[in-house]
Homo-oligomer: A and B are copies of this chain.
Amino acid sequence: MKEINEYVEAHKQRFLDELFELIRIPSISSLPEHKDDMYKAAEKWKEFLLAAGADKAEVMKTDGNPVTYGEKIIDPKAPTVLVYGHMDVMPVDPLELWNTDPFDPVVKDKKIWARGADDDKGQSFMHAKAFEYLVQSGKLRCNVKFLIEGEEEIGSPNLPKFCKKNKKLLKTDVILVSDTSMIAPDVPSITTGLRGLAYWQVEITGPNVDLHSGIYGGAVANPINVLAKMIAQTLDDEGRILIPGFYDDVVEVSKEERSLMAKAPFSLQEYKKSIGVKELAGEKGYTTNERAGIRPSFDVCGIWGGYTGEGAKTILPSKAYAKISTRLVPNQDYTKIEKLFAEYFESIAPKSVDVKVAYLHGGPSYVCPIDLPAYKAAEKAYTDVYGKQPVPVRSGGSIPIIAAFEEILGVKSVLMGFGLGSDAIHSPNENYPLEQFYNGIRTIPLFYNYFAEEAKK
């Protein structure tokens, strides 16, 4: 502990400088104009891994954005840890809400402010530095593999195929990921469940051109009116999703587990205050944490159509669009939900409009058992650094590839997240507290030590 603390202290500024080089590459995977940046980010990661002590590192092709793979094999008999992270980030709009340039990181109020500061450049980079320390200090007791991808924020569409093709290369005993949050800086937690996701874009077409709302209004179906009604028909007043069959595979969480979950420290007042709402809303019969963790959800992530400029334009629009997502819980099959939603949404459309449902992406949910040796190792590592045993929590977010890893590579992942709820990931002014960044670098080497011990048992 002392030695790693000293190492972090001695290299603090360099760690930041290196991370900032990565953050300055605007690697937004959902925008095609940033294609080149994905390659730049992948090359930067290769450079990092070689500098940190990897035996080899390379930028490898997929059917989409490249991945960076690196490894250090110390002993074929030693346990192997595969570190997964992602170098791509979310778009930054609305840009006017940022206080600083999202791709020009700054440190202020003891936090790093930038897109990717937490998700996932900041968090994945901690692994490069923890690995550097273990190599430099000669204390590495595991084989280490790195797999850093560039399409996580768009649902990792090409990584499963890459994994299938490279099963041998990626052979490991456990996958280690830092892409989640803890409850608070003084309440360490480890995410043991992730929700799945299915995401669509819908397009409603009425007349073939925007019409004058005075001349046609009332006589021709308005695609925005229709879309609003269709969305309203998909979610009832008690927060239940009305797609037939949607809940069929949902396994209700036991009373015992729900009462354990309820013991996690949580202030409804602070939660509401942090997001600026007077009241919360959600599925009847569940608490806020349950709604976000163990229950599916339905959100329109974006909507547009008709006249959206200044002032009043009296049209009956030709088209209306929405981006719609559902979060799924363990045992719900996202490929089945994909079809259920499309069928339902098409079935409720009146004949006066055309509806197109395009599936954009999705992924399964995931559960990590808390008696897994790697989980135990992570638990001990956090306890050493934070002075408290971490709480296992179910998170509402999705990392679609985690479930795919289990299916393809046959191994579980441990989600050692160091983010905080206030990090504003996916939002303007994303940030990452320096203390969490450095604590991550302190905690990860301990994981390797404990995992090597656990694996010997």
Q: Which residues of A contact B (CB under 8 A)?
A: 29-32, 90-91, 93, 97, 153-155, 181, 195, 197, 199, 201, 206-222, 224-225, 227-229, 231-233, 235, 239, 275-283, 288-289, 291-292, 295-317, 320-323, 325, 327, 350-354, 360-361, 395-398, 421, 424-429
Residue contact B352 to A279, C-beta cutoff 8 Å: yes
- Report which residue of A93, A195, A303, A308 has the largest number of chain B beta carbons within 10 angstroms of its beta carbon: A303
Residue contact B307 to A91, C-beta cutoff 8 Å: yes
Residue contact B197 to A314, C-beta cutoff 8 Å: yes
Instruction: Tell me the complex Cα distance, A427–B212, Å.
Output: 7
Residue contact B396 to A216, C-beta cutoff 8 Å: yes
- Tell me which of B222, B292, B311, B325 contacts A314 (CB under 8 A): B325
Closest to A360 in B: B312
- Tell me which residues across on chain B come within 8 A of A232, comparing CB atoms: 228-229, 231-233
Give A27 Cβ to nearest chain B Cβ, in Å. Answer: 14
A213-B325, A275-B209 known; A218-B292 Cβ under 8 A: yes
Instruction: Tell me the complex Cα distance, A215–B288, Å.
Output: 11
Q: Besides the contacts A197-B214, A301-B313, what 4 more A-B pairs have beta carbons closer than 8 Å?
A: A218-B297, A218-B298, A219-B291, A302-B305
Instruction: Tell me the complex Cα distance, A317–B316, Å.
Output: 25
A225-B235, A302-B305, A302-B307 known; A216-B314 Cβ under 8 A: no
A225-B298, A301-B307 known; A215-B277 Cβ under 8 A: no
Copies of this protein, total: 2
Residue contact B211 to A292, C-beta cutoff 8 Å: no
Give A235 Cβ to nearest chain B Cβ, in Å. Answer: 6
Residue contact A213 to B350, C-beta cutoff 8 Å: no
Give A116 Cβ to nearest chain B Cβ, in Å. Answer: 14
Give A262 Cβ to nearest chain B Cβ, in Å. Answer: 14
- Tell me which of B154, B217, B231 contacts A325 (CB under 8 A): B217
- Tell me which residues across on chain B come within 8 A of A155, comparing CB atoms: 312
A219-B292, A427-B211 known; A311-B154 Cβ under 8 A: yes
Closest to A306 in B: B302
A221-B277, A282-B219 known; A91-B313 Cβ under 8 A: yes
- Tell me which residues across on chain B come within 8 A of A350, comparing CB atoms: 279, 281
- Tell me which of B227, B282, B426 contacts A315 (CB under 8 A): B426
Closest 4 CB pairs of A and B: A218-B297, A208-B276, A214-B397, A30-B311
- Tell me which residues across on chain B come within 8 A of A281, comparing CB atoms: 220-221, 350, 352
A217-B327, A229-B232 known; A278-B312 Cβ under 8 A: no
Residue contact A301 to B213, C-beta cutoff 8 Å: yes
Instruction: Tell me the complex Cα distance, A97–B209, Å.
Output: 9
- Tell me which residues across on chain B come within 8 A of A222, comparing CB atoms: 299-300
Closest to A181 in B: B215
5 interchain pairs (CB within 8 A)? A90-B313, A217-B327, A225-B300, A279-B350, A312-B323
Residue contact A303 to B323, C-beta cutoff 8 Å: no
Residue contact B228 to A314, C-beta cutoff 8 Å: no
A302-B305, A352-B278 known; A215-B314 Cβ under 8 A: no
A313-B302, A360-B312, A427-B211 known; A277-B395 Cβ under 8 A: no
A91-B309, A309-B30 known; A218-B275 Cβ under 8 A: no
- Tell me which of B312, B352, B360 contacts A311 (CB under 8 A): B360
A197-B214, A426-B212 known; A303-B302 Cβ under 8 A: no
Residue contact B283 to A218, C-beta cutoff 8 Å: yes
Give A391 Cβ to nearest chain B Cβ, in Å. Answer: 16
Residue contact A306 to B312, C-beta cutoff 8 Å: no
Residue contact A209 to B277, C-beta cutoff 8 Å: no
- Tell me which residues across on chain B come within 8 A of A427, comparing CB atoms: 209-212, 315
A222-B300, A316-B301 known; A421-B217 Cβ under 8 A: no
Residue contact A296 to B214, C-beta cutoff 8 Å: no
Residue contact B279 to A210, C-beta cutoff 8 Å: no
Closest to A208 in B: B276
Instruction: Tell me the complex Cα distance, A14–B208, Å.
Output: 35
- Tell me which of B283, B292, B316, B325 contacts A216 (CB under 8 A): B292
Give A14 Cβ to nearest chain B Cβ, in Å. Answer: 31
